[in-house]
Homo-oligomer: A and B are copies of this chain.
């Protein structure tokens, strides 16, 4: 197979220009195909057209089936894939599989969209409203996320001897889930849950080598700031997840992240906080793994 560069003055005769980098995604492949700069001979063009029109068949079928439907020999498909730099059809097919898989769970739109008459049902309205609010909060999270601050928080937590998780009322589910997750990942942590009103005593045991992750949302009338203040006095490193710069946690914390939750019908979602929390857990566990592994 002789190498030839895309000749500028050539009429792009015959041979497809292999000057193209191997497409790494289905979208890239489509872009290349639609650019029109590649001129294929008859059979290969047939292949390109079929791929374009029936990506699902390509993803789900065998080379034999695809070849049959496209009206070519299996070996033609292999050659086509190799022109784009793949080792063979299997490699090439993975692109399609990935694409279909990626758009499967969420892209499931079955049947025609009917204007839902049940929308007037107050329950449906409530659930959809709560879901929409949570989605909005998650979308904002994706936009306003600050990687460098997140990074610092993860570093602080990963460097701690023991991680204390503090959060009450609304914030408690977040710390509770964090506790479950961190323990599953083998990261030692203490959930300050105030069982037996022992929260002050629990937090009274923190030392300079420990870290506290505090979660709190407005109104800031819980005992969380008190507990964090104690930990602060004892020299622990403090990081926080909260919903405004006016939170009493902010002056105490070495680093903090702002996560604004959405509200609907008086109920606040926790989705964004949970997502950040999970990401933190993962980041901490990853750093720990590196150190102790």
CB within 8 Å of B: which residues of A?
Answer: 1, 3, 27, 53-57, 59-60, 62, 65, 97, 100-101, 103-106, 108-110, 112-113, 118, 121, 123-124, 126-128, 130-132, 134-136, 138-142, 145, 147, 150-151, 154, 169-170, 172-174, 176-177, 180-181, 195, 262, 265, 267, 269-272, 274-276, 278-279, 281-283
Contacts and interface: CB of A to CB of B under 8 A. Distances in A.
A127 B141 contact: yes
Contacts of A145: 124, 127-128
Contact of A97 (B60, B103, B113, B139): B60
Given A56-B106, A135-B135, A173-B177, A278 B130 contact: yes
Contact of A135 (B56, B139, B180): B139
A200 B180 CA distance: 21
Given A59-B60, A106-B56, A145-B128, A282 B267 contact: yes
A192 B262 CA distance: 28
A277 to B, nearest CB: 9
